[in-house]
Amino acid sequence: MVSEYGMLSIDSNTRLYAVMGNPVGQSLSPVMHNAAFRQTGHNGVYVALHVTNLTEAVAGIRALNIRGCSVTIPHKVAVMDLLDHVDPVARNIGAVNTIVNEDGRLCGFNSDSPGAMAALLEKTPVARRRVAVIGAGGAARALAHGIAEHAGQLTVVNRSQDRGRRLAGELKCDFCPLVDFSGVGCDILINTTSVGMAPHTDQMPVAHACLRPGMTVMDIVYNPLETRLLSAAREAGCTVVDGVAMFVHQGAFQFERWTGKQAPIQLMKKTVLKALENKAGEKKNVRHD
């Protein structure tokens, strides 16, 4: 494999890393982490694994001595019961997206929370700000934990009231049905759902009227880079935080856990942006006869 960052050399000492999910074909984790390995001289290679049988896949991590794994949809919760140790923060969030193989002992962590907060704090303080998190899944839990840790005032906003109220109850915070959300009094709005993700790029999780000047709007979707929500937020005078920022920061957390080296964050971001640009160009060049 050759890239602008040089030749990827593989030998008997190369350490194997992977992302496990279903689907996983569109993941940009391999291109990001492999670029980081090359830049830092770490002898590793990162691949994407389409996993339907999670139990057997985790057994494979042990058998093949895979040194680290990213875990994505739909395995972030179920994988917890298959590990030797789960970090207390990840246990509290209720999801693991990072596995570190420590000499055969599989340890689970959650990099979504620190990754999201690092991206958000680049643009706005969180303490004492009123934060609305749209969604009630694993990503919402990770964001909610980070918001609470940084003393933000959280409200869970969700279409399904049962799931939303359950999460809000666990977090001891307010709940607002999505249909009733107006944006009034909201300082920070975070979308943790897949609404607006390619190929359904014309969708938004909230109406334009919910976006107000001075608000900070974050979308964890990174494909497309600028979702319809973020585009509308810019037009409304909001500060925006795109999904690439969170994706790169959570990847940096993983890289440092796996290698003990400082992550080349700027290179990782450049690599992801370039990959997204290439994907967009490929779509434009597709002929529709």
- The residues assigned a catalytic role are 76
**DSSP letters along 213-229, please?**
TT-EEEE---SSSS-HH
Pairwise CA distance, residues 136 & 177, whole Å = 11
What is the enclosing helix (H) or strand (E) of 189? strand 188-191
Contact 260, 254 (CB under 8 A): no
Contact 171, 189 (CB under 8 A): no
Contact 191, 220 (CB under 8 A): yes
For 128, counting Cβ atoms within 10 Å of its Cβ (0-12 exposed, 13-18 middle, 19+ buried), the class is exposed
For residue 60, count other CB atoms closer than 10 A to its CB: 16
